[in-house]
Structure 1
């Protein structure tokens, strides 16, 4: 099975219904709350995801704070998540990083 993944920068609760309409089934948030003023909280996005019928998981870490535990938690959740999956952080860089590390460590199911 190939992965059906979209990696993006910050999303807003208002965008979640459109993501659902476009077929996204799961959202994974890699961005901690409070990184910048006006940033939507994880709880706000999770509420919108729940209302739109999407699965939601926060596995957040600061830019240089990625740990083995983060990668394992991400892989465990990703492997059971309904695809397509949208993964986001502030710019998409962190999300790309955790996804690529999990792939390189062979933690993601094929």
Structure 2
């Protein structure tokens, strides 16, 4: 499991496996957000398998799928709502973590400047500089 710590209470990662969710719970994570549509890759665990494993580990599970480089306003709002309402540490994942860090930057729950959001993503290992125009809207 490869986590990219964005803040003390938020991280992103590439695809998780159901058996890793108990370890997340032991690390203090209370909420997981899946940003992948079901069936994106043939070896990807299903959303239901991930939800079941999360619930068994005592972790709240949210499915906010995005694909094709498109970030619909409804997905951004849903992501922001989960982030704001979560009690404890949140982990968002997708195939590589890029969609998840991008949704976090677009949701901007902490009201950061564009440069701060791009910088925070870069420190976590993700380059969002090409998204500058979308982040300033």
TM-score past 0.5 threshold: yes
2:94 pairs with 89, 97, 110, which one? 89
- CA shift, 1:52, in A, is 0.6
What's the CA shift for 1:87?
Answer: 0.5
* Structure 1 length-normalised TM: 0.89
1:69 to 74, 78, 82: 74
Partner of 1:35: 40
Unaligned runs of 5+ in 1: none
For each residue in 1:57-80, what CA deviation from the matched residue of structure 2 results, as whole angstroms up to 9, or x when unmatched?
000111322111110111112110
How many residue pairs get aligned? The number is 105
Runs of 4+ in structure 1 displaced over 6 angstroms?
A: none
Other structure's SS at 2:53 match = helix
Does 1:58 find its partner at 2:63? Answer: yes
Q: Which runs of 5+ in 2 are unaligned?
A: 1-6, 112-137
Deviation of residue 109 (structure 1)?
A: 5.2
What's the TM-score once normalised by structure 2's chain length? 0.72
Q: Which structure has more RCO (C-alpha within 8 Å, separation ≥ 6)?
A: 1
Q: Is the 8 A contact 1:79 1:109 kept in 2?
A: no
